[in-house]
């Protein structure tokens, strides 16, 4: 297991942690300001969200290289299924390709995929998972052409209805098995898998297909479906054990901190948030 | 698979569905009024919550038999672990025995167990699950003596922190395997397991240990952790498929409707709620 007690080289910031830095929200920092703040602390990587880099991906990617922060990837592809997806397949495919282009333009290598919820009018997740597989199959050649890897992120089962019919590491790896393409893998977020006693057994099937590992914490008394994530160490997830499981399978990539927290971390001075992230990364992750 | 299109003999009401009938909340009906309302509709069974029957269990059990409604069981044993449990083991054991006594006094045969969340100061669920097993082992002899069966209910993983470190059918059956006692089994609630693609494979291990099957629905856009359950047919759970899985394993018991719904069903006329339950039971379950 890697020792992070003195190094931040493998720490990455997902900008959602600072309220996405959107104008008027959270820090309100520009992507360049965020990159500077990461560089000052030796934070090795960054993951942007699409609205932040809209139309400026190439320039932001260049700036990141200039200050020595690796753009790990981009959040995220459009929902492929469910009530929050675009209404027709052409829109989904077009936006998916656009997201792949934006990832490539940034100089990032990984596009995160949150697959979307249960298809309207259907019951259970199986039919929706089939649709997800079809959508993914249709963009794999394009992703390969742009040298972008697609990271399927299983979401916590509480998002099963509207955001992700893909809810377990098991299902995500089953989907990878089915698609059998070197550009498709999984992203593991401790928030989504911390409760799963089957996780260590499932992740042992991953064999080089872990494209991302995300950090935050599950607060014992979580009060909001989306925006009440905890800082590492403040919750009940066994962070070290989860990291050990992914590293045992050969994962050597970034640990990406992604904290949605409307009433706590998003309200604080972003410099304080970053300092605390660095300290917790050294001590509890 | 049983045909419920014309029969309510295997339909049971969990009184939580009417806002627990507590004075000033929901229907505000007495247990006897609720029993009458069930009897009028041919609803075959009922499950009470402890505060409703406090001190009157024997009389309420007698009234139920008189009107021909079977008291299936009682909700629920105290939390055995986590931040919401009693502070010391003696209190937990005493209250657990009291709940067993109350179930027996009612003439019910099943006590539902929601195990409690992650033990304070620990990380992940494994240590807490061990504590759960210890607590259960300590009351098994007493449950047998009172002829009460204990139904472990795995809760949706969104309750993993504070209410139930037991989150999957797999973990619940593992616990049953470990305790190896005829008085311990599981209760399956569609709300908690609907997302789990491993469910049908796991439930095939149950072999006579399914003590309960609970109905409601998972609304695609669920907005509250506790009190936003849907009426059968209004959500995305594949109810028939889930029932088919438990019946395939020999389950012949009641289908217990349990809907926590602060802003919808709890606000309606309880007679209307019961009528709709009966109609949905015939058509979508």
Chain A residues with CB-CB distance to B200 below 8 A: none
pLDDT value of position A22: 62
Do the domain assignments include residue B40?
A: yes
Domain extent at residue B213: 11-283
Q: CA A36 → CA A50, A59, A111, A229, B276, distances in Å? A: 19, 14, 23, 25, 59
Using CB atoms, pick whichever of B156, B161, B171 lies closest to residue A157.
B156
Residue B143 lies in a domain: yes
How crowded is the C-beta side of B95, counted as CA atoms within 13 Å? 17
If you write DSSP's letter for every residue of A66-91 in order, what string do you get?
HHT-EEEEEE-PPP-BSTTS-SSHHH
Does the residue B46 lie in any domain?
yes
CATH number at residue A272: 3.20.20.150
Instruction: List all residues 6 or more positions away from A284 whose beta carbon is below 8 Å from its beta carbon.
Output: A232, A233, A239, A240
Identify which of A195, A236, A239 has the shortest CB distance to residue B167.
Answer: A195
Q: Do A219 and B171 touch (CB under 8 A)?
A: no
For A243, left (φ over 0), alpha (ψ -120 to 50), or beta? alpha
pTM: 0.97
Overall number of domains in chain B: 1
The string of pLDDT tens digits covering residues A14-70 is 999 998 766 655 568 999 999 999 999 999 999 999 999 999 999 999 999 999 999
ipTM here: 0.96
Dihedral angle of Cα B276, B278, B280, B281, to the nearest 10 degrees: 160
Angle (CA) B109-B187-B242 rounded to 5° is 130
Q: Do the domain assignments include residue A6?
A: no
Q: Does a structural domain hold residue B6?
A: no
A237 contact residues in B (CB cutoff 8 A): 123-124
Burial readout A247-268 (b: 16 or more C-beta within 10 A, e: otherwise): eebebebbbbbbbbbeebbbee
Q: Strand pairing of A110-113 and B45-49?
A: unpaired
Report the percentage of chain B scoring pLDDT > 70. Answer: 98
Q: Find, among B146, B144, B277, B151, the residue nearest to B215 by Cα.
A: B277
**Using CA atoms, how far apart are residues A109 and A90, in angstroms rounded to an integer?**
24
CB atoms within 10 A of CB A137: 13
**DSSP code at position A151:** E
Note whether A86 and A95 are within 8 A (CB). Answer: yes
Interface probe, candidates B83, B123, B133, chain A, greatest A C-beta count within 10 A: B123
Of the candidates A134, A141, A149, which has an alpha carbon nearest to the alpha carbon of residue A183? A149
For residue B2, being part of any structural domain is answered with no
What span, in angstroms and rounded, lies between the C-alpha atoms of B35 and A102?
A: 62
Between the alpha carbon of residue B217 and those of residues A28, A64, A159, B229, B240, the distances in Å are 40, 47, 14, 6, 12
Residues belonging to chain B with any Cβ–Cβ distance to chain A shorter than 8 Å = 82-83, 117-118, 120, 122-126, 129, 156-158, 160-162, 165, 167-168, 170-171, 194-198, 218-223, 225, 235-239, 241
Residue B68: predicted pLDDT? 98
A75 vs chain B: nearest CA distance in angstroms? 22
Domain-embedded: residue A3: no
**How many contacts, defined by CB atoms under 8 Å, are there between A and B?**
112
Structure confidence at residue B149 (pLDDT):
98
Give pLDDT < 50 ranges for chain B: none
At B62 the pLDDT is 98
Q: Nearest to residue B63, comparing CAs of B22, B24, B105?
A: B105
Q: What is the pLDDT along chain A (285 residues), one digit of tens a residue?
A: 999 999 999 999 999 999 876 665 556 899 999 999 999 999 999 999 999 999 999 999 999 999 999 999 999 999 999 999 999 999 999 999 999 999 999 999 999 999 999 999 999 999 999 999 999 999 999 999 999 999 999 999 999 999 999 999 999 999 999 999 999 999 999 999 999 999 999 999 999 999 999 999 999 999 999 999 999 999 999 999 999 999 999 999 999 999 999 999 999 999 999 999 999 999 999
pLDDT single digits (tens) B141-189: 999 999 999 999 999 999 999 999 999 999 999 999 999 999 999 999 9
Q: For chain A, report the end-to-end CA distance as a whole number of angstroms.
A: 11
Of the partner residues B161, B168, B194, the one whose CB lies closest to the CB of residue A219: B161
Residue A139: the pLDDT is 98
Residues of A in contact with B120 (CB under 8 A): 220
The answer to the question of residue A5 being in a domain is no
Tokens of B190: 């569609």
A151 φ, ψ (degrees, to nearest 5): -105, 110
CA distance A154 to chain B (A): 12
Predicted pLDDT at A20 = 76
């Amino acid at each position: 297991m890697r020792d992070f007690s003195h190094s931040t080289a493998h720490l990455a910031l997902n900008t959602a942690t600072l309220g996405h830095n959107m104008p008027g929200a959270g820090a309100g920092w520009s992507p360049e300001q965020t990159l500077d703040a990461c560089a000052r602390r030796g934070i090795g990587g960054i993951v942007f969200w699409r609205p932040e880099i809209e139309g400026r991906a190439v320039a932001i990617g260049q700036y990141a290289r200039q200050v020595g922060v690796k753009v790990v990837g981009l959040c995220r592809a459009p929902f492929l299924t469910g009530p929050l997806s675009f209404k027709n397949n052409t829109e989904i495919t077009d936006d998916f390709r656009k997201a792949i282009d934006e990832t490539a333009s940034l100089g990032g290598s990984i596009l995160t995929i949150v697959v979307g919820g249960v298809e309207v009018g259907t019951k259970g997740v199986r039919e929706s998972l089939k649709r997800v597989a079809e959508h993914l199959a249709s963009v794999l050649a394009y992703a390969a052409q742009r040298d972008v890897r697609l990271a399927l992120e299983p979401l916590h089962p509480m998002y099963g209805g509207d955001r992700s019919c893909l809810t377990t590491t098991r299902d995500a790896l089953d989907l990878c098995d089915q698609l059998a393409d070197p550009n498709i893998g999984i992203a593991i977020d401790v928030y989504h898998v911390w409760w799963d006693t089957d996780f260590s057994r499932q992740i042992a099937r991953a064999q080089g297909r872990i494209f991302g590992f995300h950090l935050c914490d599950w607060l014992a008394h979580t009060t909001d479906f989306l925006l009440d994530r905890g800082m590492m160490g403040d919750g009940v997830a066994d962070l070290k054990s989860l990291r050990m499981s992914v590293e045992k399978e050969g994962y050597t990539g970034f640990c990406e901190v992604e904290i949605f927290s409307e009433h706590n971390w998003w309200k604080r001075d972003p410099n304080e948030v970053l300092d605390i992230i660095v300290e917790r990364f050294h001590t509890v992750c």
